[in-house]
Amino acid sequence: MKPYREALLEFEQQYLTSVLAESNGNVSEAARRAGVFRTHFYKMCERAGIELRPLKAIDKDVVPHRVIREAPDEGNAEWKALGEQHAMG
């Protein structure tokens, strides 16, 4: 049997990774799903050895921390501008 601390760390790594995946990498959403404050979620990830990279440092093929919602109206100029800014960033 594994020592308690080792088993707990393994569980936390699996749990946090799973919550992040279900939230498409959105840390705020993952924290809500986990029932903790966002700042505490960051600390939990740090303790579990999970590296959360800033949005700009992520490759385009990897799920970003923040996801822009789909526009309710495709013709909405404000949404198009937001999408263009995101594509450039």
Please tell me whether residues 59 and 85 are part of one structural domain.
yes
Tokens 């013709």 label which residue?
75
CA dist., res. 10 & res. 86, Å (int): 35
Residue 54's pLDDT is what? Answer: 65
Q: From residue 14, how far is each of 6, 10, 20, 48, 55 by CA, in Å? A: 12, 6, 10, 9, 22
The residue segments making up the domain with residue 67 are 55-89
| Domain at 1, CATH number | 1.10.10
Please tell me whether residues 15 and 42 are part of one structural domain.
yes
What single DSSP character describes residue 11?
A: H
How would you write the pLDDT of the chain (89 residues) with one tens digit per residue?
989 999 999 999 999 999 999 999 899 999 999 999 999 999 999 999 998 876 554 455 554 444 333 434 445 555 455 555 444 44
Please tell me whether residues 37 and 63 are part of one structural domain.
no
Tokens 């799920």 label which residue?
63
